[in-house]
Structure 1
Amino acid sequence: MFNTISLSPMQSGRLQTALDRQYRFDGVVKTLRSHIEELAAAGKLEFSEGDGMIDYSRTHFNRLGSYAEQDAYIARLRAKRYFYLNGWVVPKLVYDAIKR
């Protein structure tokens, strides 16, 4: 499931660390690896990407001093990428390893 053939030893270690990190999914603490395996067992995995506009704060935007700062804030949010696996945010390294 996780394609590690083309990864360097350092990247492979980072991937294993990311997969072994524990998160709370629907009130249950489990590793990212076990959660992804459960998602794969339940059906086809859906991959999607999103920008950082989900983090938009109207209060922060309105408190910025000039139009240039506001434009820079919007540009920063749009440049930020989120990677989703069946609607769950996953690190880019994990996303790429599964998608290959």
Structure 2
Amino acid sequence: MLEPSWVFALNAEELKENSLKLVELNDKPVLLIRKEGQIYALSNKCKHMGCPLSAGTLEDHTLRCSCHGWRYDIKTGDYLGSRDIVLKVYENKTEEGKIFIYI
């Protein structure tokens, strides 16, 4: 098993405002979102049935799964239907125009 570390995800200019971008990091699908200049990194698998959230839609700071409409807060990963269900949220940083995710 790999030790947690900062992993290069993509160049910052590739992630446009209000967009979703799927990257594969250490065999983990990570969804990157830029909203109001802030970058968010979340698990790409919906907690309901594992559908890819990269096919979903962004409504303000809420990500809606395309399969069954489950909605998540992109800031916290919280499912908006229950406080007990939470998506994995990854720490991220941008350095010299490159986005890194702590995996």
**Same fold? TM cut 0.5:** no
Larger relative strand fraction: 2
Report TM bin, short chain.
under 0.3
Q: Whose radius of gyration is greater, 1 or 2? A: 1
Normalising by structure 1, report the TM-score: 0.27
Larger relative helix fraction: 1
The structure, 1 or 2, with the larger RCO (C-alpha pairs under 8 Å, 6+ apart) is 1
Normalising by structure 2, report the TM-score: 0.26
